[in-house]
């Protein structure tokens, strides 16, 4: 299904909208969140850099009525394996009532278009092994990983 709405880069002035969606994402899946106010403050700083190495880009999907129905968050970094930047898709969230309507595909298409425009060598992401729907979605959009070779993929972190 094609998304009838608009996808674009969120400006610093939209940090609150992005923060609310990210907070709702974590709350929906019972993952800790620092809260909307903290996320908004952090996003105002991160979004000011924009789509460049060391920057963060937020993409908002707005429905025909102008309401925010989805968000994608990408951090751009350098990488020894590519000439250009690498985009790390940190988050992709669609509000529950709008899932299955092409919002996620529209967000991902914009991320990939910007990545190509920036000369990025790759867009990476982490998906939890039990989240079969997300894995199916990303595979459908051309993402591959170790799980394609009968191995589990892990994206590890250590909070400091």
Return the residue matching tokens 């991320």.
111
Which band of pLDDT confidence, cut at 50, 70 and 90, is reported for residue 135? Answer: confident
Would you state the structure tokens that stand for residue 105, as one six-digit string? 């595909």
Segment 42-72, tens digit of pLDDT: 999 999 987 777 889 999 999 999 999 999 9
What class is the 6-125 domain?
Answer: alpha beta
Task: Quote the pTM value.
Answer: 0.90
- The DSSP element (H or E) to which 40 belongs, if any, is helix 36-49
Segment 102-122, tens digit of pLDDT: 999 999 999 999 999 999 999
Q: Using CA atoms, how far apart are residues 65 and 18, in angstroms rounded to an integer?
A: 17
Domain map of the chain by residue range?
6-125
């Amino acid at each position: 299904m094609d998304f009838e709405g608009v996808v674009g880069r969120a400006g610093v002035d939209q940090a609150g909208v992005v923060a609310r969606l990210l907070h709702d994402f974590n709350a929906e899946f019972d993952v800790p969140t620092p809260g909307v106010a903290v996320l908004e403050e952090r996003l105002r700083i991160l979004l000011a850099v924009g789509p460049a190495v060391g920057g963060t880009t937020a993409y908002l999907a707005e429905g025909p009525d102008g309401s925010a129905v989805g968000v994608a968050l990408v951090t751009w970094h350098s990488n020894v394996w590519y000439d250009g930047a690498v985009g790390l898709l940190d988050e992709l969230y669609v509000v529950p009532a709008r899932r299955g309507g092409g919002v996620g595909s529209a967000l991902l298409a914009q991320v990939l278009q910007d990545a190509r425009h920036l000369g990025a060598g790759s867009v990476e992401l982490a998906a939890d092994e039990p989240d079969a729907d997300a894995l199916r979605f990303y595979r459908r959009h051309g993402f591959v990983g170790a799980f394609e070779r009968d191995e589990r993929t892990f994206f590890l972190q250590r909070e400091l």
